[in-house]
Chains A and B, each alone.
Chain A
């Protein structure tokens, strides 16, 4: 792998940019690997990267039914934060946030992590109580979070409407300054490049159609559209399709898959300097470096794999955006899309070993998995390499739904469920 640097740019500028190499190779699948990761999204590629970089396991294949980063990694609203209520969640999301800081240097790839601040608005007494509880709980866990008055919120985000005359007036806000955004595609590409350079095979257009198990129950490999590929260990990181893959191995999951939508506006000059989210009126918004307003909407109410959703869901969110930011009422929306998110009953992810020997699962990130990408990959790689969870992901088992030890993180998406 050639290192990207200012010298590389200068050198390539001199010779017509003919020396850039492919960021990752596309090899033919081997007959067998030590580890197969199902799903080449951010979490899967990060897992493969850390397997190679931290644990020295390089005989790894990442299988992807479509194209790399084309699922929820390419469909989310790129928000990063770690202001979760419970200790277990704080542990894993802040682990990720610490890795975001410095990820561009580690990967030698600009993931454009921008700690521009994530501000969550309160509109009523209940919001104030909930958000202040988060502020205090976060501080006890060493996570920055602070309470703002409406005036301070407006100072931090000038286009915000804090009029008392609003239908749902802003009565305060919680601000995590280390929160922000990153370039979602670059995250997938950066991890893919780093993993590929260490010998990981990234195999696109290769859909897993079955999971093979030995008579003793252990995983022996996967059936794919490109034939059988053997593996000692298989890690399922398939987002909305995780339960479909797990069913192939005979494991029923506590998951339901819903469409989640997002949309972007026409590009405009910089106007929203941070991420603003609101539980109560249900909207989140930030501005990409390209200038588009990036707006996240809600899930549809029914199980679906359609990767599309109802128009009324978008309308509801745009109502809220216009309420919070009256200056955007005449903006044109350019594109909207949907992704399929796998939601657990307690809104916390599952990163764990499974009842099947050699089979591991990283799923259930629901509506908010992008922010966790580096941390998730890091501890999931540990879980696969050591056949034992990392202390950070040890609470995120499948068994918690039997024992009742839930991590009931209703704030997981920061929107009303």
Chain B
């Protein structure tokens, strides 16, 4: 079971309190009806599914109930960092994660 740090509660809590909500930083179009089939497919179905660093959303269902984002290595399942919803995708990851980023 993963141990996940909620950036709102500022606490590490067991995975059972959380719900994964899929890949992060996928922008929803403001004009959904105007989307082409290709763009809708990219938004709705296509996922990066990386073997390595993933940016994903989590929700602290049984805690503060808020959504936030996380950076995790999908090979080791180790979390590199979590950050609040709405914050930009981190351009640089924390130093101690260099080893996993290099993969």
Contacts and interface: CB of A to CB of B under 8 A. Distances in A.
B19 interface: yes
Interface stretch (B25-33, B45-53, B80-88, B94-102): B45-53
A302 B1 contact: no
Contact of A256 (B42, B47, B77): B47
Contacts of B11: none
Contacts of A241: 51
Interface residues of B, number: 28
Nearest to A257: B49
B45 A302 contact: no
Contact of B74 (A253, A304, A311): A304
Contacts of B2: 302, 310
Nearest to B76: A306
Nearest to A346: B45
Given A301-B20, A304-B77, A401-B41, A310 B47 contact: no
B49 A345 contact: no
A305 B37 contact: no
A312 interface: yes
Given A254-B45, A301-B19, A301-B20, A306 B77 contact: yes
B16 A312 contact: yes
A317 interface: no
B54 interface: yes
Interface in A391-417: 401-404
Contacts of A17: none
Interface in B12-39: 15-16, 19-20, 22-23, 37-38
Contacts of A301: 19-20
B75 interface: yes
A396 to B, nearest CB: 15
Contact of A305 (B19, B42, B44, B75): B75
A71 to B, nearest CB: 14
A135 B84 CA distance: 48
A303 B45 contact: no
Interface residues of A, number: 23
A306 B46 contact: no
A243 B74 contact: no
* Centre residue among B22, B42, B45, B75 by max chain A CB count within 10 A: B45
A310 B16 CA distance: 10
A243 B49 contact: yes
A216 B29 CA distance: 33
A243 B44 CA distance: 16
Contacts, number: 65
A154 to B, nearest CB: 34
B92 to A, nearest CB: 22
Nearest to B37: A402
Contact of A306 (B38, B45, B56, B75): B75
B46 A253 contact: yes
Nearest to B4: A302
Contacts of B1: 310-312
Given A304-B77, A402-B37, A402-B41, A310 B51 contact: no
A61 interface: no
Contacts of B74: 257, 303-306
A381 B68 CA distance: 45
A2 interface: no
A310 B37 contact: no
B51 A305 contact: yes
Contacts of A303: 23, 49-50, 54, 56, 74
B35 to A, nearest CB: 11
A133 interface: no
Contact of A252 (B16, B37, B46, B56): B46
Contact of A403 (B19, B37, B44, B76): B37
Interface in A293-319: 301-306, 310-312
A373 B54 CA distance: 31
Nearest to B70: A302
A302 B20 contact: yes
Nearest to B22: A256
28 contacts: A244-B49, A252-B46, A252-B48, A254-B45, A254-B46, A254-B47, A255-B49, A256-B22, A256-B47, A257-B49, A301-B19, A302-B2, A302-B72, A302-B77, A303-B23, A303-B56, A304-B77, A305-B74, A305-B75, A306-B76, A312-B1, A345-B44, A345-B45, A401-B41, A401-B45, A401-B46, A402-B37, A402-B38
Interface of B: 1-2, 15-16, 19-20, 22-23, 37-38, 40-42, 44-51, 54, 56, 72, 74-77
Rank and list the top 7 A-B pairs by shortest CB-CB distance, nearest first: A254-B45, A401-B45, A301-B20, A402-B41, A302-B20, A243-B49, A310-B1
